Each structure stands twice: as C-alpha cells, then as structure tokens.
Amino acid sequence: MFPTIHAGVAMSVLLDVTNLSVHFPLRSLALWGGARHVAHAVDGVSLTLAPGETLGLVGESGSGKTTLGRAILRRAPITAGTVRFRGEDITTLSGEPLRRLRRNMQLVFQDPYASLNPRLRVRDIVGEPLEVHGIADRDAIRERVSRLLTLVGLPADAGERFPHAFSGGQRQRIGLARALALEPELIIADEPVSALDVSIRAQVVNLMQDLQARLGLSYLFIAHDLSVVKHLSHRVAIMYAGKIVEIGDRRSVYERPMHPYTEALLAAVPVPDPAVERHRQRAPLSGEPPSPVDPKPGCRFASRCPLVRDVCRETQPPLVEKRPSHSVACWLRE
C-alpha cells in the first residue's frame, strides 16, 4: 500500500527543514518592568520528507508539534533556520508567491467540529479553496466538489447539507476533501483522529492510507497516539520540549528505541494481550517537562531522565545517526 522506502537509497526530497526555530517573546513581563523572556516553542529542528512518504511526529502536549507544522506552512513566524519545498527556500516567501505555494501544502485540523464553518453548506466549504485561488468557475467547482466528496467516501449529495448533519468521522472526511481540493503534494495532519471515537479513527486512518496510495500524497502526521503513528508512518520523529530527540525508520524506532524518552513512551502503550501486559516492566517518568521560557543548557530531558549524567545537564546532545536511518540526541549513545 505504501511506496517502498529503503534505508540508504537516494531519494528525492519534497520537504527539507533545517535548524528551524520558533521563539515567542513574552512582552507582558517586560511591560511591567521585568526581564524580557522568550518562549522556545521549537528549537533547532531538522527533518526531511520524501514524496509519497509519511513522517509521524510524536510528542506530549506542549512539545511544539503543532507550532512546527504551522511554521512549515508559514502560518507561524520563523525565528531561525530554513524550510525548503522541492528545493525552493520558502522561509521568507510572502504575498503572491506564498499564496501560490500553499496550493501544494495543505492542513487537516485536529477538531472536525471547530474547523468547519457551521453557516456554510459542505459544497461551499470544500469548494472555497478552488474559488479563492480562481481555479474553476462555479459549475466546474460544483462538479469537482462532488468528485471530492465521493473520493473521501461521502455521497455526492452531502454537499447540500450543513456540517451539523454529520458525525465527527464524516466531518473529518469533509476536512480531507477540502485539503485535497487544490491537489496538494504535502498534507500536514495535526492530530486528525484524536477527537474521534476509536472505531472511527481506524476508518479515517485507512482512508488516509488509501488516498496516499491513489494520489501519491506525502503526510506529516502529528499525533500523540503511538499505535496510530505505527500503523500509518514510514518514519517516526520523537519531539520533546521543542527538539527532535529521536528519528528513524518506524520498525527501528519501535523495536529498538535509543532515547530514554522514547523508551518511556513505548512502555506506556498498553498491550492487548493480558498475559503480556501483566508482566511488562514499566518505569513511569517523574516530574514535569521543562518550561519553554529561557530553557537551561543541556539536554531538555535531563530533569526527568532516570539515566542522567553531569554532561546531560551541561551540554545539549546533537542529533546523530547511530544506526542506518536512525538518529538520536543522547549522550548515553556516544
């Protein structure tokens, strides 16, 4: 179902993110005479995405996943680093060039209830991108919307109804249809199934797989559900406190994790076999994630890591490839 991607084989790069940082100045503190502080939402993140590939981006709430996705789409201000799409540096694009670029990069939102305008019929919601970009006239838009709704598994006449007439899973299908209207190459899916019932999640994930196989889409799939990411992704990136701490092939990351944080995440995933689950070793993490405001030097995970050393508190470890197509930022792996 997926395009085959082999470690060590040269492949074209659709998306190339290099040392990307997104920092937000906290002006309110300065206004009251306090020191000027900065929130490091994303700090020096690098990743690549190949055509037809799915990269799963995993991390707990507040780790910077959504901000990273928005920065790639140029919906959040970039403090440093570069974003290249098909080799073109889009970091400083604005105006009409940025508008044209966004035809190739679309977003699927987390909440299917809040992301659809309740005042518009579905045909207008799905057809709006076509109208905004002036791609087709009214009659052509209506025909194309019908085809898109059929493509995502909804009846063509669904376009005449309003969003309130649909379930959560159906609304997310409408969101997918809207994202596909401009025939993009890259879709950033920001936790698209986290607000859905478990049984509906599988339907939406399977639909995304089918659409990828039929249309050659690339996904940056943002989630905190490791089981969904494992099912959908070719490669997996683990994000913690604004930084990528591990990235690699799906099988390698899940079967042979190298970072203590990845190990803790995988240990927390329940196993459906009661006998196996009963005898599993767990080491729950203590403490809280570090504040993104003016972070301390050293590894961001040092305050919670059970294997922490002095060097971990003093110097930030670089993200280094330790196995073929498997990199980790951890002094323990030196």
Span 241-262, pLDDT tens digits: 999 999 999 999 999 999 999 9
Which pLDDT score is estimated for 6? Answer: 36
User: For residue 24, what pLDDT is reported?
Assistant: 92
Question: Does residue 263 or residue 197 have the better pLDDT?
Answer: 263
Is 80 in a helix, a strand, or coil? strand
Q: What value does the mean pLDDT of the chain take? A: 89
115-135 pLDDT, tens digit each: 999 999 999 999 999 988 888
Q: What is the pTM of this model?
A: 0.90
Q: What does the alpha-carbon distance between residue 238 and residue 223 come to, in Å, rounded to a whole number?
A: 10
> Closest Cα partner for 103 from 150, 143, 135, 78?
135
Residue 181 banded pLDDT, cuts 50, 70, 90: very high
Decide which of 319 and 280 is more confident. 319
What pLDDT sits at residue 28?
62
pLDDT surpassing 50 at residue 1: no
Phi, psi of 8 (to 5 degrees): 85, -5
Let me know if domain 15-104+184-333 sits in CATH 3.40.50.1970: no
Q: Could you give the angle at the alpha carbon of 43 between the alpha carbons of 42 and 46, nearest 5°? A: 95
Q: Cα separation of 70 and 65, whole Å?
A: 9
The full set of domain ranges for the chain reads 15-104+184-333
Higher pLDDT, 45 or 133: 45
